[in-house]
Amino acid sequence: MDDPDSLEELARALMSALTLADLGKARAAKKAALSTNTVSAAVNARRGRPVPSQRTVTRIAQVCNADLDPLLELRRKAEAQRRATKAEELPPPSGPDWLVTADSTEPPERHFNPLRRENLIRSVASALSTVDPVPLTDLRHKFDGLGVYALYYVGPNELYRPVSQSSCETPLYVGSAEQGGTRLAGAEGAGDALWARLARHRRTLQRAIGLAPEDFRVRHLLTDDLFISGAAHLTIKDHLPVWNVVLTGFGAMAAGRMRGHTPPWHVLHGSTLREGDVPRPQPEDIAQWTERVRRHLAAHGTPKRSG
C-alpha cells in the first residue's frame, strides 16, 4: 500500500482551517499578504505538485487562528516525500496551478515565468488591492490616464450593511477605463478617461435614492491598457461585487441603449436616465431586486470577525 500523501493531507487541513475561519481564498490571501494563486495552490495541492512554503503555511494558519504545529509537521512529511520521489515519476506541469510558487523557499522544479500575461494581470489586480482607498468626493482635480478601480460603501444604508466597513474589503462595484472602450467613446475621451468615469459615477450617486457619493470610497490604479480588462475581470471574479453580478446597470451611459428596460440598479436607486425613456419600476420589482441583493451579500459580503 502506498504511503499516505502528506501533501494532500496538508491541503485538506489548510482548506478545513479556511472553512472553520469562514474565509474564502481571496480574502485569506489578502489578510495573509499572499497572492490568491498561492493560497489556492496550497489548498489544492497533491502528489507531484510543489510543496507550499513554510511562510505560506504559517501565514494561512495565522489568519485562520489554526494550530500551526500539526500543519508544519504535515509540510515536513510532504517535503520528505517529494525528495524521495524520483524526478521522472513526477507528472508534467499543467494548467495555472504552477503559477503559485513564486513565494516558495524551495528551488523550483519547473519554470515560473513572471512575464506570462496571466501573471502580469494578477500582479495588476493585486496592486489595486494595496492602494489606499480615498473618498470618491475627493477626486475633484482631473488627472490623466487609463486604469481599473473599485468602489466601496461605508454608509448607513441597511441593505449594504454586510459590506459597509471603513476597511474597504468587499467592493460594491469594479470598473475600468480603457483606450477606445465603447463606454468611453466621445465625451469622456481617453486623456482623462479614468478620472472622467469616476466623476460620472459621483454625479450618478448624487441623484440616487438611498445613496450619497460621500459614503463611497474608491481604489483606483493607473496602468497599461493591455492589462486593464483582465485585472478588472479578475477582481470581479475574486470578490463578486453585487453591482457587477446582481444589481447591474450602475455604469450604464444612456437610456437609449436600454431599449425600454429599466436596469436593476435603477430599479432600486432611482433612474438617472431621461424620464420617459424607460418604464417606472413597480413595487414587486423593487422587492424582488432587494431580496436578490440581500441573498447575494449574505453569501458574499465581508465576513464578520470574531472577538
Residue 92 or residue 286, greater confidence: 286
3-state secondary structure of 302: coil
pLDDT band at 271 (very low <50, low <70, confident <90, very high): low
Tell me: pLDDT of 170 over 60: yes
Residue 170, CA distances (Å) to 86, 90, 202, 212, 252 in order: 44, 39, 19, 18, 22
Q: How many residues does the chain have?
A: 307
Tell me: pLDDT of 180 over 70: no
pLDDT band at 258 (very low <50, low <70, confident <90, very high): very low
Task: Please count the other Cβ atoms lying within 10 Å of the Cβ belonging to residue 192.
Answer: 17
Residue 273 or residue 130, greater confidence: 130
Residue 84 or residue 138, greater confidence: 138
**β partners of residue 222:** 147
User: In the chain, which ranges are E strands?
Assistant: 134-135, 147-153, 173-177, 216-222
Tell me: pLDDT of 274 over 90: no
3-state secondary structure of 29: helix
Tell me the three cell numbers of residue 159: 441593505
The terminus-to-terminus CA distance of the chain in angstroms comes to: 45
User: What pLDDT score does 287 carry?
Assistant: 93
**How do residues 17-74 score in pLDDT, each as one tens digit?**
888 888 888 888 888 888 888 888 899 888 778 889 888 998 898 888 888 888 988 8
Torsion of CA 158, 150, 296, 211, to 10 degrees: 30
User: What pLDDT score does 112 carry?
Assistant: 66
The answer to whether 20 touches 232, Cβ cutoff 8 Å, is: no
User: What pLDDT score does 231 carry?
Assistant: 92
Upper half-sphere CA count for residue 142 (Cβ side, 13 Å): 8
Burial 208-235 (b: 16+ CB within 10 A, else e): beebebebbbbbbbebebebbebbbbbb
175 CB burial (10 A radius; 0-12, 13-18, 19+): buried
**β partners of residue 173:** 151
pTM over 0.85: no
Q: What is the mean pLDDT of the chain?
A: 80
- Whose grid coordinates read 475621451? 189
**How do residues 135-166 score in pLDDT, each as one tens digit?**
999 998 899 999 999 999 999 999 999 999 89
Of 21, 29, 54, nearest to 10 by C-alpha is 54
253 CB burial (10 A radius; 0-12, 13-18, 19+): middle
The answer to whether 65 touches 21, Cβ cutoff 8 Å, is: yes
User: What pLDDT score does 300 carry?
Assistant: 84
